[in-house]
Structure 1
Amino acid sequence: MTAPDWNQLADQSLAGELISREAAHQVLSAPDTELLAQLHAAYRVRHHYWQNRVRLHFLLNAQSGLCPEDCHYCSQSKISTAEIDKYPLMAKDRVLAAAERAHTLKAGTFCMVISGRSPAEPTFNRVLDLVREVKAQYPMKICACLGLLDEDQAQRLAAAGVDRVNHNLNTAEANHENICTTHTFQDRVGTVEAVKAAGLTTCSGGILGMGESADDVIDLALSLRQLDVTSVPMNFLIPIPGTPFVDRGDLTPRQCLRMLCLFRLLLPSQEIRIAGGREVQLRSLQPLGLYAANSIFIGDYLTTPGQAATADFEMIRDAGFVLEAPDGSVLQGDPLAELQALAIA
C-alpha cells in the first residue's frame, strides 16, 4: 500500500478537517521508514499551536490505594495485589511540600490525585482546603483528579481555585468492559461533561498498550475530539506486578510515536501530554515524542517513579525545545543549571 501524503494530512488537520478513518489506520500501520516523515507532519501541527514550548505538570498521589474499583491496569484497585503504599488523604504539610517541589521543578500545573470511585464529603472538603492553601502560596495552576464527579462538585472545585479537572476516558467505549466493570464509559463521559458545564478546563486522555485494537485507539481519540477536551494525557501502560495487565504493554517505541502522531492530527490544538509510561515504552526515543506532544509530567507518577528531573530538562534542551512558564511565556534563565545548583535530581 502506498503511504499517504503525511503533509497533506497535516494540512487537513490545520484546516480543522477530520482526517478519515482510513488515513488514521494508515498512520498507525505505517512502516518504520515513514516514521520521521510522520513526525515532521505532526510537528507542523504542534508548532502552529504551541511553537517549540514544552509544558511541565507535576503529579501528587495525595491518597493512595483503598479503591473499590476494578480497573485492571491500576495498582491501587481492589483486585490488585501490587506492593504499594496505601494511605488516606495526605496532611497539609506533605501536600505543601510537594507543591514547593513542583514549583522548584518549574511545573506550571500541580496535579492532585486521590484514589477511589468518588470523594466522600469530608475528604472533598479537605481537598478544597488544600487547593486554597496551595493556590495562596504558589503561582501554579491546579488540576484535580478525584474520580467521578457531578456538576455541583465541579463548581465547588472551581470556587476553591481549581483550574482543571482530570478524568480519563482510558480507552474506547467498545473496549471499556475489558478494562473495568465497576463503572461504565458513560460514567466517565458524564464527569467530563459535568466539568465542562461548571466552566472548568477539561483534562482527559487514555492508556495505550492494554491490548486495544487500532480501531480502539482511533475511537478514543475521536471521543476526546467530540468532547472537545482541552488537555490530553497519553499514558502508555506500565505493566505492574500484581495487576491483571502485568503481561500486557508490549508496545514498541515506534508504535508509541505513531500513536502520538495520530492524536496530534486528530486533536490539533489540544495540549497533548506524554504521561505515565513514557520512560518504559518510549525509552531512548522519548525526545522524538515532543515533536507531536507539547507537555510532559516531571517527577514521579502515581505509584511508579519517573526519570530524574535533570534528565527531562536535558532532553528538552538537547532537542531544541524550551520550557513554558505558568503564564504561557517562555521560561527565562537556565532551569537545568538552577536545578543542578540546588543539587536536585
Structure 2
Amino acid sequence: MNIRHDWTKEEIQAIYDTPLLELIYKASTVHRQYHNPNEVQVSTLLSIKTGGCTEDCSYCGQAARYHTDIKVQRLLPLETVLEAAQKAKDSGSSRFCMAAAWREVRDNRDFDKVIDMVKGVNDMGLEVCCTLGMLTEDQANRLQEAGLYAYNHNLDTSEDHYNNVISTRNFSNRINTIDNVRKAGITVCSGGIIGLGEKDADRISMLHTLATMLKHPESVPINALVRVKGTPMEDMPKVDTWDMIRMIATARIIMPTTMVRLSAGRIEMSEYEQAMCFMAGANSMFSGDNETLLVTPNPSLSADQMLMKNLGLNPMKSKKEMAI
C-alpha cells in the first residue's frame, strides 16, 4: 500500500462508513504491513503546570473561566519532573510527555525551566514530548536543540466546527504551530477529540486535514471527550466505543505509518472494548501510576499491565533505544 497524501473527503467518508467488521479487518491488515501487531508504545503524560489557562476550550477543566474542582498548580520543580520521568521509564514507558496549561509559550524563566526539563528527560534515553500551547519558530528551534523528540498540538476538531468549541484562538493558529514544529525538525503529534457535538462530516474533515499534510503526523491521538463538571460540555453524552473504533481504523488506513494513540476516554472502556481498538490499528496509549491523564481519570498502571498481558502486547522500545 502506497503512502498517500491526496485523500479526498469522499474517500475518507467511504472508509469510515465501511461495515464495522470489514473496516476492522482492513485496518488490521494495513497495521500488520507497517507495524508489529504485538507491540504498543506506552507513553506517560505529566502535567507540569496545571490550570489557570486563559483559553476557553469548552471541554477543558483547566480553563480559568470555568468553575471546576481542578487545583491550579504552578510549574513543577525540575527534580520532581525528572523523578517522574525515571519512574515512567522504569515502568515500561518509552515516551515521556510534559504538558503545561498555557495558551502560548512565552520567552521567560518558565520556558527556560522547560528547556532544562527536556534536556534532563532526553538524557534518560526517553522520547521527550511537550504540549505547551502555541509556539513560534524560534521557540520550536530551542526545544529541538534541547532534545525534544515530539510536540503535541491537537487540531481538536474540524475547521468548520472549531469555533463552536473554542473562541480564544482559531484553527489556523493550530496549523501554524504544527508548521513551526515541522520546520524545527521535531516530530508532530496531532489528533483530536470526538464527542464535542460534531457531526460525522467534522470527524472526516479533521482526519482529512491530518492525512493531507505534506508529512503525516508521526502520532495521532484519538480522544473521547471526558466530561468535566463545571465546563460547558459537562452534560454531553458518552462517546460510543464503536465511534472510537471507526476513527482509529480510518486513521490507520489513511495514515499507515503513523502511531495511532488510544488516548482520553479509556477509563470508560472495558478490556474488551480496548482490545477492539488495538485490533483496529491503535498501537499507542497513555499509562502511568497516578491514574490520571492530565486532570481526567485514566486506568491504573497495574490495570494497563494486566490488559497488555491478557492481550499478549509488549511495550515498544523508544526510537532512541532502537538506534543503539
Where in structure 2 are there 5+ consecutive unaligned residues? none
Secondary structure of the structure 1 residue equivalent to 2:64: coil
Q: Is the 8 A contact 2:125 2:320 kept in 1?
A: no
The answer for the alignment partner of 2:296 in structure 1 is 304
* Aligned pair partner of 2:185 in 193, 196, 199: 199
**Deviation of the 1:66 alpha carbon:** 0.9
Deviations, residues 212-242 of structure 1 (Å, cap 9, x unaligned): 1111101111111222221111111001111
Identity percentage of aligned residues: 32
* Aligned pair partner of 1:318 in 305, 310, 316: 310
Letter in 1 for 2:119: R
Distance (whole Å) between structure 1 residues aligned to residue 81 and residue 320 of structure 2: 25
Letter in 1 for 2:297: P
Letter in 1 for 2:118: V
**Deviation of the 1:323 alpha carbon:** 1.9
1:40 maps to 2:25: yes
1:79 maps to 2:65: yes
Secondary structure of the structure 2 residue equivalent to 1:111: strand
Distance (whole Å) between structure 2 residues aligned to residue 266 and residue 282 of structure 1: 27
Letter in 2 for 1:168: N
Letter in 2 for 1:261: A
1:218 maps to 2:194: no
1:67 maps to 2:46: no
Distance (whole Å) between structure 1 residues aligned to residue 235 and residue 17 of structure 2: 23
* Aligned pair partner of 2:278 in 279, 286, 290: 290
Distance (whole Å) between structure 1 residues aligned to residue 7 and residue 104 of structure 2: 36
Q: Is the 8 A contact 1:256 1:282 kept in 2?
A: no
Higher RCO (CA < 8 A, seq sep 6+): 2
- For normalisation by structure 2, the TM-score amounts to 0.91
1:125 maps to 2:112: yes
Q: Is the 8 A contact 1:210 1:249 kept in 2?
A: no
Distance (whole Å) between structure 2 residues aligned to residue 133 and residue 328 of structure 1: 15
Q: Is the 8 A contact 1:143 1:162 kept in 2?
A: yes
Distance (whole Å) between structure 2 residues aligned to residue 130 and residue 80 of structure 1: 29
Q: Is the 8 A contact 1:128 1:160 kept in 2?
A: yes
Q: What are the equivalent positions in structure 2 for 1:99-110 lying under 5 Å apart?
A: 99-110=85-96
Distance (whole Å) between structure 2 residues aligned to residue 251 and residue 220 of structure 1: 17
Query: Which has the greater radius of gyration?
Result: 1
Distance (whole Å) between structure 2 residues aligned to residue 70 and residue 144 of structure 1: 21
For the structure 1 residues 283 and 171, does the alpha-carbon distance in structure 2 shift closer, same or farther, using more than 3 Å as the test?
farther
1:262 maps to 2:250: yes
The answer for the alignment partner of 1:238 in structure 2 is 226
**Deviation of the 1:255 alpha carbon:** 1.7
* Aligned pair partner of 1:250 in 226, 229, 238: 238
Q: Is the 8 A contact 1:28 1:214 kept in 2?
A: no
For the structure 1 residues 106 and 252, does the alpha-carbon distance in structure 2 shift closer, same or farther, using more than 3 Å as the test?
same
**Deviation of the 1:123 alpha carbon:** 1.1
Secondary structure of the structure 2 residue equivalent to 1:178: coil
- For normalisation by structure 1, the TM-score amounts to 0.86
The answer for the alignment partner of 1:337 in structure 2 is none
Larger mean CA deviation between 65-74 and 111-120 belongs to 111-120
Secondary structure of the structure 2 residue equivalent to 1:256: helix
Distance (whole Å) between structure 2 residues aligned to residue 20 and residue 149 of structure 1: 29
* Aligned pair partner of 1:169 in 148, 155, 177: 155
Distance (whole Å) between structure 1 residues aligned to residue 305 and residue 15 of structure 2: 29
**Deviation of the 1:179 alpha carbon:** 0.7
Secondary structure of the structure 2 residue equivalent to 1:290: helix
Letter in 2 for 1:265: I
Q: Is the 8 A contact 1:238 1:249 kept in 2?
A: no
Larger mean CA deviation between 161-170 and 279-288 belongs to 279-288
Distance (whole Å) between structure 1 residues aligned to residue 24 and residue 30 of structure 2: 10
Deviations, residues 112-134 of structure 1 (Å, cap 9, x unaligned): 00001112322111100122222
Letter in 1 for 2:282: A
Distance (whole Å) between structure 1 residues aligned to residue 166 and residue 117 of structure 2: 30
Larger mean CA deviation between 35-44 and 239-248 belongs to 35-44
For the structure 1 residues 250 and 108, does the alpha-carbon distance in structure 2 shift closer, same or farther, using more than 3 Å as the test?
same
Q: Is the 8 A contact 2:50 2:72 kept in 1?
A: yes
The answer for the alignment partner of 1:341 in structure 2 is none
Larger mean CA deviation between 251-260 and 108-117 belongs to 251-260
